[in-house]
């Protein structure tokens, strides 16, 4: 089963971090981090509905102004998410411009800015263009299990990591794909009809196997039969797990971060993770609260990632990208050295 989205690192591994995730057949995309995003066309930027920012060090947030420039004057509500202090950071960026001619814009750009501190609450503020982007506080909403966004076809969870400042790591997940074997439906003598949608929804809701599904025939005066979900799973359904993408940048290799990443990233299909330094530089990396390439590989192995994409390389390794990739891959495949925790 193909995933319902495509991922693209916006820049090469030495460029600013930004991962563009485009949903197939929807003209919609989400972005992880807002580094240098000039390589994305305005057409692609205008598809963004949600932008998740790990932290506001400049290389992760510098693209905000370009995004604002492209979206200004259009009827767009753009949802931004970030760590503690994020709402103030966005307010300061918007406050850096003069907005005296925007009150009559026919189409209004609105930023809905969300801030999460790793707890059970999502703080929110609205920044509407026609009111000169002055912040309007919104009611807080509850957060369970780090889930920042949940829609029928998509969820995004986060974990708060230690980068000497709070830094968010993210996982984007699709729900499982529920497919119906049409030939088996016929063989079982079951009709097509709206009941198949109810069946799919019951699975996505996580109902138990003994949950009864009403099967209704149009012919025969609306004949009805109840069949258990478990029986239908065995006879006519193919259930494929959804794709899971992990995004991790700027973090110290320490027990608390590892524990949080294990919980967040368990079984990811693709792990995009910073591999900023060679492991021989583990001490300076730790002093800067960054991961080495080997540490990125060890994390990928610990969380059971299926594929690893190391990126966000330090400029000091220009021309030596292969060295960092090979080190990360060796650790991922468990051919590396001792998985030692380095402290700053």
86-94 helix and 64-71 helix, angle to the nearest 10 degrees: 60
Whichever of 143 and 167 has its CB closer to Zn ion, that residue is 167
Segment interacting with Zn ion (CB under 5 A) among 18-26, 49-57, 190-198, 319-327: 49-57
Which residues in the 146-175 window bind Zn ion by CB under 5 A?
A: none
Give the one residue of 16, 173, 250, 281 binding Zn ion; rule: CB under 5 A: 250
Contacts of 25 (CB under 8 A, 6+ apart): none
Which residue's structure tokens are 């370009």? 66
Distance CA 92, CA 223 (A): 64
Segment interacting with Zn ion (CB under 5 A) among 122-130, 170-178, 192-200, 243-251: 243-251
Segment interacting with Zn ion (CB under 5 A) among 86-94, 114-122, 204-212, 244-252: 244-252
Distance CA 239, CA 224 (A): 25
Whose CA is closest to 38, among 66, 16, 61, 60? Answer: 66
Is position 322 annotated as part of the catalytic site? no
Size of the site for Zn ion (CB under 5 A): 2
Give the one residue of 28, 57, 233, 288 binding Zn ion; rule: CB under 5 A: 57
Burial label for 222, CB within 10 Å (0-12, 13-18, 19+), is exposed
As measured in angstroms, the least distance from the Cβ of 55 to Zn ion is 6
Contact criterion met (CB below 8 Å) for 277 and 241: no
Whose CA is closest to 161, among 309, 306, 64, 262? Answer: 262
Supply 137's token pair. Answer: 């506080």
Regarding 274 and contact with Zn ion (CB under 5 A), the answer is no
As measured in angstroms, the least distance from the Cβ of 16 to Zn ion is 11
Distance CA 294, CA 250 (A): 14
Whichever of 59 and 327 has its CB closer to Zn ion, that residue is 59
Active-site choice (16, 33, 36, 59): 59
Whichever of 61 and 127 has its CB closer to Zn ion, that residue is 61
As measured in angstroms, the least distance from the Cβ of 313 to Zn ion is 14
Chain positions contacting Zn ion, by CB under 5 A: 57, 250
- Residues belonging to the active site: 59
């Amino acid at each position: 089963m193909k995933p319902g989205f495509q991922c693209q690192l916006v820049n090469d591994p030495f460029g600013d971090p930004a991962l563009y995730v485009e949903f197939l057949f929807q003209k919609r995309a989400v972005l992880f981090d807002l580094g240098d995003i000039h390589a994305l066309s305005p057409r692609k930027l205008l598809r963004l509905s949600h932008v998740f920012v790990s932290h506001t060090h400049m290389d992760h947030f510098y693209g905000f102004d370009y995004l604002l420039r492209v979206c200004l004057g259009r009827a767009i509500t753009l949802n931004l998410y970030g760590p503690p202090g994020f709402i103030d950071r966005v307010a300061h960026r918007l406050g850096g411009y003069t907005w005296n001619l925007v009150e009559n814009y026919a189409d209004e750009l609105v930023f809905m800015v969300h801030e999460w501190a790793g707890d059970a609450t999502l703080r929110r503020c609205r920044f509407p263009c026609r009111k000169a982007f002055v912040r309007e506080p919104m009611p807080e909403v509850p957060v369970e299990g780090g889930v920042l966004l949940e829609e029928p076809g998509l969820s995004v969870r986060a974990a708060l990591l230690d980068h000497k400042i709070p830094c968010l790591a993210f996982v984007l997940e699709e729900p499982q794909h529920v497919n119906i074997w049409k030939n088996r439906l016929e063989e079982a003598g079951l009709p097509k009809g709206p009941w198949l949608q109810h069946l799919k929804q019951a699975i996505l809701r996580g109902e138990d196997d003994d949950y009864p599904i009403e099967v209704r025939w149009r012919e025969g005066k609306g004949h009805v039969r109840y069949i258990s979900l478990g029986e239908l799973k065995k006879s006519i359904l193919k259930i494929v797990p959804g794709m899971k993408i992990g995004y991790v940048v700027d973090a110290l290799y320490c027990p608390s971060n590892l524990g949080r990443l294990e919980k967040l990233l368990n079984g990811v299909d693709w792990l995009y993770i910073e591999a900023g330094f060679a492991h021989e530089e583990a001490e300076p990396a730790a002093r800067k609260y960054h991961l080495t390439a080997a540490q990125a590989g060890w994390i990928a192995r610990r969380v059971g990632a299926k594929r690893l994409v190391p990126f966000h390389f330090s400029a000091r390794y220009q021309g030596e990208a292969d060295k960092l990739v090979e080190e990360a891959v060796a650790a991922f495949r468990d051919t590396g050295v001792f998985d030692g925790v380095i402290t700053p």
